[in-house]
Structure 1
Amino acid sequence: MAPLRPAAPAPVRRLAPWLLAGAGGLLQALSLAWPGSGEPLWWLQIASLALLARALVAPPVATGTGARAGAWRAAGLGWLFACGWLAGTFWWLYISMHTYGGLAAPLAAAAVLALAAFLGSYYAAACAAFHRLRTGGRAWDALLFAAVWLLAELARGQWWTGFPWGAGGYAHVDGPLAVLARSVGVYGIGFAAAAAAMGLAQLRPRDLGRWRSWAVMLAVLLAWGALDWQRECALREDCRAAAGAVDAGAPFTLALLQGNIPQDEKFQPGSGVPLALGWYGEQLRAASAQLVVAPETAIPLLPGQLVPGYLERIAQRYTAGDQALLLGIPLGSFEEGYTNSVLGFAAGQAPPYRYDKHHLVPFGEFIPPFFRWFTQMMHIPLGDFARGGVGQPSLAWQGQRLAPNICYEDLFGEELAARFADPATAPTVLVNLSNIGWFGDSVAIDQHLSISRLRALEFERPMVRATNTGATAVIDHRGRVTHRLAGHTRGVLEAQVQGRTGAVTPYAWWAARAGLLPLWLGGLAVLALAWLRRRGH
């Protein structure tokens, strides 16, 4: 008999789950946009979450700890994982608060960590619930873990105005789970990834010799193949024609403007403001594309602050011919309030089309209750916007329905879905206008691009993006980036885009009517079943 390997010392074994959770959280952040390439890595997202799952199901070293102590341990592991993941995902908030907002470096770093710690509490609660409700059956444990993870993601995405940046599903825009986007959206992808992670964490070498394991893998592959076939059929032109769907008009030419106005000068009257007004004014006069898009607050002044005739000349230029313009500009006044808006100019469009941003950024665009003291410590221009409505109409132009969204509004797919309630008026092209200059040359740019790509997958509509510093890009209805302008350069991205119409995706259909309620109910239903099973044991 071969000698048995000596067991690791107890302190090492007690520490191992915490090391797994901490390392897993950091790797989860990296999976969303790998440093250097900025590419999402779907396999790393599952593998890193599997490290947490393994830590949760591993038996504790100490014996007789009891259910309550075990739940606290599970909560701590989930919280540690989430803190590493979230702080590693949106660390660039430090740049906006310190570099551009003027907040002292220690306070800016503390604010990022505090936000990660607060949001991490959702995942701590999820892991505690998993520990209390699991029964030991591997299939049920995978389903239960996926359900509690889904509920934590939904809570982060909706409570306290919601901040779902870095949700695990965004790592899968190029992976096999992307086929789920059209049916269950990014949160449904995250559910499937969590189930896969727990399954991977519980996998044993001896499982490869069991026919049931192979049967499960075969069933998963068949289900994936059916979903992929369904998506391809919905996207293929011959299938669309047979279903009576047609493209929205002829392809049109597009010019996306990227001003690359330095963020620390953007609102300065002696530097950034004249630079923006001059460069954008010149490009808008010279553009020959059928549709021109200038990014969020491309015009960094309220209309009443502009030189008389500046905005009127732009309007005259684009209402006199066949071209159209979507222009990012704040509207209103300091006395009556102002909005972060898009103006649309096109022939026959009088008065100009207007879209007002609905989902405002806390601290940057509105001040949460009891936090004015915090925002007063920073220098943020135009920091208290009024809010627009959900489901605002699109700009109808030459057979297209152009649906703007501003900055991180494309993070909230359930709100964009409100525009798809009626297929006859559903958008044919989604248009994102952003200024990510607040976050420097960081992974925020690549992370935001993946967010837009996921929206294109969910709604099967092209998404075009005009930004101040990047990523200015064109994404087709399959979620592929077809054109992209180099970041942090001043230039114009020219492309051709084909709008899409016809039947909306299943996700667009149910999210337009019920928001994320079906996912909430599904996750809670699994928890209720797990509780009943637990009582039965």
Structure 2
Amino acid sequence: MTKVSILTLLSSLKSSLVNKKNWLSFITGLSLVFAYAPFSQWYLSLFIPAIVFYHLAKQPPKKSAKLMFIFAFGWFASGISWVHVSIDQFGGLPLTVSLGLMLLLCLYLALFPALAAYLTAYFSNKKQLNLWLLMPFWLISEYLRSVVFTGFPWLSLGYSQIDSPLAKFAPLIGEVGITALVILINVCLVKIVYSLKQNSKNTLTYPIALIFMITTLSYGLANVNWVQVTGKTTKVALVQGNVAQSIKWAPEQEWPTMLKYLDLTRVNYDADIIIWPESAIPAVEPAVQDYLSTVNQSALLNNSAIITGILNYNFETKEYFNSLIVLGNKQDEDEQGYYYNHNNRYSKNHLLPIGEFVPFQELLRPIAPLFNLPMSSFSRGNYMQHNLIAKNLHILPLLCFEIAFPHQLAANLTKQTSLLLTVSNDAWFGNSHGPHQHMEIARMRALEFGRPLLRSTNNGITAVIDHHGNFIARIPQFEEGVLKTEVELVTGVTLYSLWPRLILVLMIIIPLILNVFLQTQEKKEH
């Protein structure tokens, strides 16, 4: 690199650091974390992005992308800071290296909103940014974020609205549709400000009308019942073992942990279904057959069913699977409940990079302990699998990270599905906002698909959610305990559960058509 090019680079860097718009974008991005759980100030999502959108106007594509990139970097830097807890505490890396990895992750995620801004500016005319295009391009970029490199769709804007009036749209258009509405409201606010600034009352009509229409529909949808309560209930018990991550896989803790779950269960056999969290049994399934047989017989004697997380090892293919199995669950007099390789099981499909599989492992594993975490060499289960069956109920399972992928849930939903189940071990992330955001995502799935949801975790948040996405019951984090409650069963389907991919496509195409109309009207009024 020549001396001139270095000086040019340094000059550009200095210019960026003193640019007020850049700092404003970064700070507004940082503040967006408060819209999500555990802070849950949902209204922030409805105007904070507008601050950046306002400054995108009259910017060429590259500058628009740069401003959005800075905003998104702040958004992810604060929003997923909880990831650093696991890297720092269990990765075995120096602080500077772990912070560097977090920096790279946030920079990568910021590329997707930046892409949306770039495309919006690129397809606008040279004189004025067409903000109406931002909504469809944002959805396209968010879809890419959910699939590229296995996907990381965390902090999608729609999740922040689980407790807002916009949540009523979830059974109709899903979280993706709510994200589109959040972007649309922010764009409308910018349009209103520009109209007032230019003293153009005529251009106020459409953004105000759109916000009014969205508000009216949200309250109207509150009266729509997508599914119906059947009058039947089932009693559930969710066990939270609160086993510290630092000792979870220690060999000497294997039996104490298994006995702890059995002891917590013994006094709760009056429940129909008992749930243990992800990898509650810290051993491979073939190695603990005597223990599993004992638990199975105990559940059978008490006419109950236990669903537990466990690791399975296939000796023929030499593959590990992160699995859920059903113990007990006597369906008839000849039923013996669980036995090894019983088909009443589920194996995780959507694995978490680094945590459950290591890409380019031959290259990365020798570098640092981060790439050799316990149980980080899993194989994928099938994308579509049978629901688990417990006490004659069909239960759709998703393991940990999978709850963030609605299309996978939709692919496995059947007319017989009574409950959604997600189990997790968020002990990796300590007392951060990560587990709260995880719970927020799970609540959105219950609302989108109109089914009660059970969420059992090692150290919280363990909770039961109704088909409206509201808490029925929950127990505190970092406490050993059992959550017992009754769950009302429902019947029927939501519109979103029928056509999630079609709705995504429509949420992209309809705004493009709407854009043509709005642009034509704005030109006439100017």
Which TM-score bucket, shorter chain as reference?
0.7 to 0.9
TM-superposed deviation, 1:462: 1.1
Deviates more, 1:252-261 or 1:520-529: 520-529
Within 5 Å, give how 1:123-272 maps onto structure 2. 123-135=113-125, 141-204=130-193, 206=196, 210=201, 213=204, 217-218=208-209, 220-235=211-226, 247=230, 250-271=232-253
Q: 1:13 to 1:56 in 2, by over 3 A?
A: farther
1:100 to 90, 98, 117: 90
Residues 1:358 and 2:349 aligned together: yes
Which residue matches 2:47? 47
Give SS of 1:428's match: strand
Give SS of 2:238's match: strand
Give SS of 1:217's match: helix
1:395 to 388, 402, 413: 388
Which residue matches 2:4? none
Residues 1:298 and 2:288 aligned together: no
Which residue matches 1:26? 30
Q: Give the AA of the match of 2:235.
A: T
Give SS of 1:448's match: helix
Q: 1:251 to 1:120 in 2, by over 3 A?
A: same
User: Deviations 1:134-188 (Å, cap 9, x if unpaired)?
Assistant: 34999x9343111121111111111111001111111000112112211221121
Residues 32 and 447 in structure 1, CA contact (< 8 A), matched pair in contact too: yes
TM-superposed deviation, 1:228: 4.0
Specify every segment of 5 or more residues in structure 2 that has no aligned partner in the other structure, as ranges: 1-14, 332-336, 522-526
TM-score, normalising length from structure 1? 0.84
Which residue matches 1:6? none
Which residue matches 1:281? 262
TM-score, normalising length from structure 2? 0.86
TM-superposed deviation, 1:270: 2.3
Q: Give, in whole Å, the separation in 1 of the partners of 2:513 and 2:276.
A: 45
Deviates more, 1:214-223 or 1:189-198: 214-223
Q: Give, in whole Å, the separation in 1 of the partners of 2:297 and 2:47.
A: 56
Residues 344 and 352 in structure 1, CA contact (< 8 A), matched pair in contact too: no
Deviates more, 1:353-362 or 1:208-217: 208-217
Which residue matches 2:494? 505
2:360 to 360, 365, 369: 369
Which residue matches 1:8? none
Q: Percent identity?
A: 28
Q: Give, in whole Å, the separation in 2 of the partners of 1:267 and 1:161.
A: 26
Residues 296 and 329 in structure 1, CA contact (< 8 A), matched pair in contact too: yes
Q: Give, in whole Å, the separation in 2 of the partners of 1:528 and 1:215.
A: 13
Which residue matches 2:10? none
Q: Give, in whole Å, the separation in 1 of the partners of 2:45 and 2:232.
A: 39
Q: Give, in whole Å, the separation in 1 of the partners of 2:494 and 2:366.
A: 41
Residues 148 and 527 in structure 1, CA contact (< 8 A), matched pair in contact too: no
Q: Give, in whole Å, the separation in 2 of the partners of 1:112 and 1:215.
A: 42
Q: Give, in whole Å, the separation in 2 of the partners of 1:270 and 1:376.
A: 28
Residues 313 and 321 in structure 2, CA contact (< 8 A), matched pair in contact too: yes
Which residue matches 2:334? none
User: Deviations 1:469-502 (Å, cap 9, x if unpaired)?
Assistant: 1110111111111211110111111111112222
User: Deviations 1:108-156 (Å, cap 9, x if unpaired)?
Assistant: 1111110111121122221111222234999x93431111211111111
User: Deviations 1:46-82 (Å, cap 9, x if unpaired)?
Assistant: 222112111212x56xxxxxxxxx2221111111111
Q: 1:212 to 1:130 in 2, by over 3 A?
A: closer
Residues 151 and 523 in structure 1, CA contact (< 8 A), matched pair in contact too: no
Which residue matches 2:292? 311
Q: 1:199 to 1:314 in 2, by over 3 A?
A: same
Which residue matches 1:465? 455
Specify every segment of 5 or more residues in structure 1 that has no aligned partner in the other structure, as ranges: 1-10, 61-69
1:323 to 301, 304, 324: 304
Q: Give, in whole Å, the separation in 1 of the partners of 2:187 and 2:463.
A: 36
Q: Give, in whole Å, the separation in 2 of the partners of 1:304 and 1:471.
A: 30
Deviates more, 1:282-291 or 1:436-445: 282-291
Residues 1:407 and 2:400 aligned together: yes
Q: 1:407 to 1:523 in 2, by over 3 A?
A: farther
Q: Give, in whole Å, the separation in 2 of the partners of 1:142 and 1:528.
A: 12
TM-superposed deviation, 1:523: 7.1
Q: 1:202 to 1:217 in 2, by over 3 A?
A: closer
Which residue matches 1:443? 433
Q: Give the AA of the match of 1:191.
A: A
Please tell me the root mean square deviation across aligned C-alpha atoms, in Å.
Answer: 3.3
TM-superposed deviation, 1:374: 5.2
TM-superposed deviation, 1:397: 3.6
Give SS of 2:248's match: coil
Which residue matches 1:66? none
Q: 1:531 to 1:320 in 2, by over 3 A?
A: farther
Q: Give, in whole Å, the separation in 1 of the partners of 2:346 and 2:520.
A: 48
User: Deviations 1:193-247 (Å, cap 9, x if unpaired)?
Assistant: 1111122123238389947746753554345434543453225xxxx6xxxx552
Q: Give, in whole Å, the separation in 2 of the partners of 1:480 and 1:355.
A: 26
Which residue matches 2:19? 15
Q: 1:148 to 1:218 in 2, by over 3 A?
A: closer
Which residue matches 1:487? 477
Give SS of 1:430's match: strand
Q: Give, in whole Å, the separation in 2 of the partners of 1:372 and 1:291.
A: 44
Q: Give, in whole Å, the separation in 1 of the partners of 2:360 and 2:515.
A: 33
Q: Give, in whole Å, the separation in 1 of the partners of 2:476 and 2:188.
A: 40
Residues 133 and 531 in structure 1, CA contact (< 8 A), matched pair in contact too: no
Q: 1:94 to 1:375 in 2, by over 3 A?
A: farther
Q: Give, in whole Å, the separation in 1 of the partners of 2:54 and 2:406.
A: 31
Count of aligned pairs = 496
